[in-house]
Amino acid sequence: MGTICPCPLRGNMNTVLSPPIPPYQNFPIRSEFYIPSRFVISAIILGQTTIVTATTDMNYVIGQQVRLLIPSSYGTYQLNGVSAYVISLPDTTQVELDIDSNGMDILHSSSNTTLPQIIAIGDVNQGVISNIGPDVPSTAIPGSFINISPL
């Protein structure tokens, strides 16, 4: 027995040719398209709870889990890598965190090019999640990452 040739000239294949389909490519992730975001820290108030002030308005919510990234040259190195939950929003540029920072070094200026930052890493996942599909208008949980890109 012979083999079937998938050649359009022999009639064994559809004669309509389509161009090759390029491999699927994800769009690059750009931080400005997602909320909540990363912010540069300008001040930290130490105490039984810790208040972090950013250089711009923050878009965090109560229950948002964040991580502090503080180079040792800025002081307050004890808070570097610490994650905590936002427990209040005293101002548009401030968040109060559930960290007891009594006795830690104060934040000060530095010539280091890596700036101290606060970055969202999650939330407490409280809220209603729909089980009827993606067409439900309010499936986002407060504090979760939300794609706001124009694409």
What is the structure's pLDDT at 131? Answer: 53
What is the structure's pLDDT at 61? Answer: 86
What is the structure's pLDDT at 136? Answer: 47
Q: Where are the domains of the chain?
A: 31-125
For residues 118-145, average pLDDT:
58
Which pLDDT tens digit goes with each residue over 55-100?
999 988 888 889 999 998 998 889 999 999 999 999 999 999 999 9
- d(C-alpha 98, C-alpha 69), whole Å: 16
Q: Determine contact, residues 76/51, Cβ cutoff 8 Å.
A: no
Closest CA to 43 of 85, 90, 1, 7: 90
Is CATH 2.40.30.180 what the domain over 31-125 is classified as, yes or no?
Answer: yes
Higher pLDDT, residue 136 or 47? 47
pTM of this prediction? 0.63
